[in-house]
Amino acid sequence: MPDGPGRPADGPRRRGRPRTEERAGDTRERLIAVARRRFAADGFDRATLRGIAAEAGVDAGLIRHYFGDKTGLLVASMQLPVDPVEILRSVIAAGPDGLGQRLVAAFLTAWDPHREVIAGLVRTTFGNTSALPPALQVVRGVVVVSLREVLSGKDAGLRAQLIAGQLLGLAMLRYVRPLEPLASASRTRVIEWYAPAVQRLVTPGQEVL
């Protein structure tokens, strides 16, 4: 029997497609919907994968299968235009040398095209006093954790947070409350000046260029 007019051949309602495959996408979406609700109601720390899985009517192992861990589920539930986990993974993969340069470049490349999105996230996160909003959890659980992995020497945790602070400060004056010339400066110029200041926290004892 032919598909109806205007219905894509691979559309979800195609006759004869196995119902189990249709359910996979549905399950993922349902998990994200439940996670958004639970993270908002309970906060990231108190929400449990077991509770979210139960409410979605699936096994908790499926969350690990789709999202890796709770932070992965959180990032997915935020529906960001860029994937901070993926970006940071590739930024830190090459090690500490030149990390400042790669980090600032990746940050600008990710957010320059989505200024409104990050501005909204920062406003929501720093404009109220509610417990641990999602974006701050990503700063803490993704950005700081990833950076810390690649830092060696004293006070690695503190330095990772100071680097995260540098990126936040950049976001505030370039995106959230844009000041000129910073808001319109080319990426190249911002990287030229800011990357060495970030690198100073990555490899404190070394030459910074």
Give least dist CB 9 to its own copies, A.
45
Q: In terms of Cα–Cα distance, which of 45, 40, 67 is closest to 53? A: 67
Q: Give yes or no for residue 142 binding its own copies (CB under 8 A).
A: no
d(CA 193, CA 36): 38
Contact set for its own copies, span 76-105 (CB under 8 A) = none
Q: Give yes or no for residue 138 binding its own copies (CB under 8 A).
A: no
Q: Give yes or no for residue 169 binding its own copies (CB under 8 A).
A: yes
Residue 36-75 contact track with its own copies, rule CB under 8 A, x = bound: ----------------------------------------
Q: What is the Cα 40 distance to its own chain's centre?
A: 17
Angstrom CA distances, 68 to 36, 49, 54, 162, 196, stand at 16, 11, 17, 27, 33
Q: Which residue has the tokens 């894509």?
A: 8
| C-beta closer to its own copies: residue 80 or 198 | 198
Q: Give yes or no for residue 201 binding its own copies (CB under 8 A).
A: yes
Given the rule CB under 8 A, which of 11-19, 20-28, 46-54, 192-200 is the region that contacts its own copies?
192-200
Q: Give yes or no for residue 172 binding its own copies (CB under 8 A).
A: yes
CB within 8 Å of 61: residues ≥ 6 apart: none
d(CA 159, CA 143): 12
CA dihedral of 153, 155, 156, 157, whole degrees rounded to 10: 170
d(CA 47, CA 124): 20
Residues contributing to the site for its own copies (CB under 8 A): 122-123, 125-129, 136, 139-140, 144, 155, 157-159, 161-162, 164-170, 172-174, 176-177, 179, 181-182, 185, 189-190, 193-194, 196-198, 200-201, 204, 208
